[in-house]
Chain A
Amino acid sequence: MNKELEHSFVTELERNQNIVHKVCRIYTSNKEQHNDLFQEITIQLWKAYPKFRGDSKFSTWMYRVALNTAITLYRKSKRSVKTQDYESVIFKITSEDYDDTEEEQLKIMYKAIKQLSDIEKALIFLYLEDKNYKEIAETIGITEVNARVKMNRIKTKLKKILNP
């Protein structure tokens, strides 16, 4: 693949890397796994890039490849061992509007999300990314109605985890 294509890809990904980091955050539990998955997503994005026709936004296209990689293609590396509390290292609760109760609630919420299945994580991720049900359904490959039903079930499941 030529240098020009590589340059445009790396520039686009550098600009939109947030999306990949957020996918890694949902699907991994430590920094090593996060880096490992980030790398695998980058490779898959790069492999698919020559077929990216630009009829959708680069970021929209990224969601599909990144989620497909995290859910289906990624195989956890054996060298990744849990060394520290991931959430507390990478994702700090922001200091503005600091609220003890809120912080505690958020911590529990993030932990609860980790307990969801891979497919449920994809739904909640797209929901948090402000995607509408049509986009969520298309990315996952289900109907809009089913996406709504599944989302409601996830909300109930989360409620149960939070208030056992």
Chain B
Amino acid sequence: MEELDLLKKDWKKQEANQPKLSYNDIDKMTHKKSSSLVKWIFYVSLFELGFGIAIVLLALLIQPDLMSDSTMPVWLNWFCYGSSLVVFYFIYKFFMNYKKISTTNSIKDLMQNIISTRRTVRNYIVYSLSVIAFTICVAFPIGFIEGTGGMEKFSAEANITKYLLLAVVTIVLACIIVALFYGVYYLLYGLLTKKLKRNYKELKQLKS
């Protein structure tokens, strides 16, 4: 292509026209703070990972005897302990993936490592949302029944319509809360990784 040869010739000549920064200018830059995508992803991910923990801590702060609440089934406590272990697993995996991110990798490898780090957080979000939905589905009916005089009173008075109404309200509440959290997550994730995903898709089409 003739034009490209012309461009190549001119490209070499352009070196003389490039701006020239002094030693001091460059030295100053090394002390500036980065505003890279990886840094943003790191902070957003930390916020997302910390959010689940913060909710549990807040709940325990407001109601310290939450775990020993006699109205809650015992298996729910074990479920909470199990969930905490899963959260720690996600945090561990996130840091291990994060350590792999290096600007000296090839362009494709760097993108892959960033995406797999984000994927860990995405899985964590999916897991957290499932736990939230499950907790609402268990805790809301129990709370409601206890608040209106206990299980015996409720089952004595309740008819099929009341049971159905409680089930529908619980499911709608769970859906609203999950949709709200997912909306915030999707917005943050989508905005941060729009460019990355577009470029990665293009590279993936070229088999390595």
Task: Point out residues on A near B: beta carbons under 8 Å.
Answer: 6, 9-11, 13-14, 17-18, 21-22, 38-40, 42-44, 46-48, 51-52, 61, 64-65, 67-69, 71-75, 77, 90-94, 102, 105-106, 109-110, 117-119, 122, 127-130, 138-143, 146, 149-150, 155, 158-159, 162
Contacts and interface: CB of A to CB of B under 8 A. Distances in A.
B58 interface: no
What secondary structure prevails in chain B residues at the interface with A? helix
Nearest to A155: B1
B99 interface: no
A42 B30 contact: yes
Contact of A75 (B17, B40, B203): B40
Contacts of B3: 105, 109, 158, 162
Interface size class on chain B is 35 or more
Contact of B106 (A46, A64, A93, A130): A64
A143 B208 contact: yes
B6 interface: yes
A10 B26 contact: yes
A48 B40 CA distance: 18
A109 B108 contact: no
Contacts of A39: 29, 32
Nearest to B36: A73
Interface in B47-98: none
A-B CB proximity, top 9 nearest: A141-B108, A141-B106, A73-B36, A42-B29, A21-B18, A146-B206, A46-B30, A128-B11, A43-B34
